[in-house]
Structure 1
Amino acid sequence: MSAHNVVVGIISEALVDLLKRMCECEKLKELHVKDFELAKVADEVTKAISEGREGDFGPVVVRLQKKFLGRREIKVWLFGREIDVDSLLSEISKAKSRVSWLLNDCSDQALIETLYKYEDRYLIEVVQRNFNEIRKVCSREVPKLVFGDVPTYVIEGVTRGIETYLSK
């Protein structure tokens, strides 16, 4: 096997590793879509509850109910299901934590860092330039990549890596 083929194989493996992580992240983001919805309104909901204010906040509805002797009770619904305030606050905390974790571990920078161990600046350059196109592979689409002026081993390795990932 020639040195060229060995390097193409390494670049291909690097891209398959990136794609596995990237697509895993995409699945996790889809799986936790409700956490993203809840985290987006978390501060507004928490403020409304602390101020005793009613409102509709996407997945959360806050209502005040007058009780005996002028007291008020806060009622909350999360995704259409009534729950108590403490449970809602707990769910908000969990959602914010999961979203923070996903945004950190699945950021573009975190994904690109998986390529650093391969020490090929051309590969990293190609991935950075084509990041959104490469993401299409997770939907089983063949991306239209712009390679620019990079060595042929990178072009062949990236192409082979995408083909390998899509064939699984």
Structure 2
Amino acid sequence: MQLEAVGAQEVVVGIVAEAFVKFVTRLCECEKLKKLHERDFELAKVAEEVTKALSDGREGTFGPVTIKVQKKFLGRREVKVWLYGNEVDPNTLLAELSKAKSRAAWLLSDCSDHALIEVLYPYEDRYLIEVAQRNMEEIKSLCTGATPKIDFGEAPAHVVEGVMKGVEAYLSRHAGA
């Protein structure tokens, strides 16, 4: 009887570890994508202000975008635009702003805390979900190969053991990556 209980506990711990590794893998994919698309986030932040400045014919520097307006003969004006120090056509800039806003919105949606936690829903362990939610920022340290300090709160032993086993499994698979 004792052996069956230990065996069942080990199975549950293994399932929690597997769930945790899937969660961390998705979390780290998102962190990598956010870093890869930093420029999109930077552009998306200033997109509305840049678009308004262009339509108003207003000069200024907005993050990576610089707008210069030169008055010409008979009230005409010439607009010059620089994106990350390179001169671009205003229409090209508007297209880049649109793409950046779309990519940033996609990443913010697909990599939101809620979307990341959804990876754990099929496992139906509310304690595991609570541990992941409470420690999201700390768990991100796994993405750089560090061991997180996880607050388990009132989580039962199978979650604590499973998460710790998951941390070890993730770090051993991604060592040196």
Instruction: Please tell me the TM-score bracket, short chain as reference.
Output: over 0.9
Q: What residue number does 1:99 align with? A: 104
Q: Quick one: distance in 2 between partners of 1:2 and 1:167?
A: 24
Q: What residue number does 2:66 align with? A: 61
Once the two structures are TM-superposed, the CA of residue 68 in structure 1 deviates from its matched residue by: 3.7
Structure 2 runs not aligned, ≥5 long: 1-5
1:55-94 equivalences in 2 (<5 Å): 55-94=60-99
Q: What residue number does 1:167 align with? A: 172
Q: 2:36 aligns with which of 31, 37, 44?
A: 31
Q: Quick one: distance in 2 between partners of 1:83 and 1:130?
A: 43
Q: 2:117 aligns with which of 90, 112, 118?
A: 112
Once the two structures are TM-superposed, the CA of residue 70 in structure 1 deviates from its matched residue by: 3.4
Q: 1:138 aligns with which of 96, 120, 143?
A: 143
Structure 1 runs not aligned, ≥5 long: none
Once the two structures are TM-superposed, the CA of residue 67 in structure 1 deviates from its matched residue by: 2.9
Q: Quick one: distance in 1 between partners of 2:38 and 2:134?
A: 27
Q: Quick one: distance in 2 between partners of 1:43 and 1:65?
A: 22
Give secondary structure in 1 for the equivalent of 2:87.
strand
Q: After the TM superposition, which parts of structure 1 deviate over 6 Å for at least 4 consecutive aligned residues?
A: none
What is the TM-score normalised by the length of structure 1? 0.97
Q: Quick one: distance in 1 between partners of 2:17 and 2:48?
A: 44
Q: Quick one: distance in 2 between partners of 1:154 and 1:103?
A: 28
Q: Percent identity?
A: 64
Once the two structures are TM-superposed, the CA of residue 131 in structure 1 deviates from its matched residue by: 1.2
Q: Quick one: distance in 1 between partners of 2:69 and 2:154?
A: 63
The CA deviation string for residues 3-31 of structure 1, in whole angstroms up to 9 with x for no partner, is 11111111001000001100000000000
Q: Quick one: distance in 2 between partners of 1:22 and 1:130?
A: 12
Q: Quick one: distance in 1 between partners of 2:129 and 2:92?
A: 44
Instruction: State the Cα RMSD in Å.
Output: 1.0
Once the two structures are TM-superposed, the CA of residue 66 in structure 1 deviates from its matched residue by: 2.7
Q: Quick one: distance in 2 between partners of 1:26 and 1:131?
A: 12
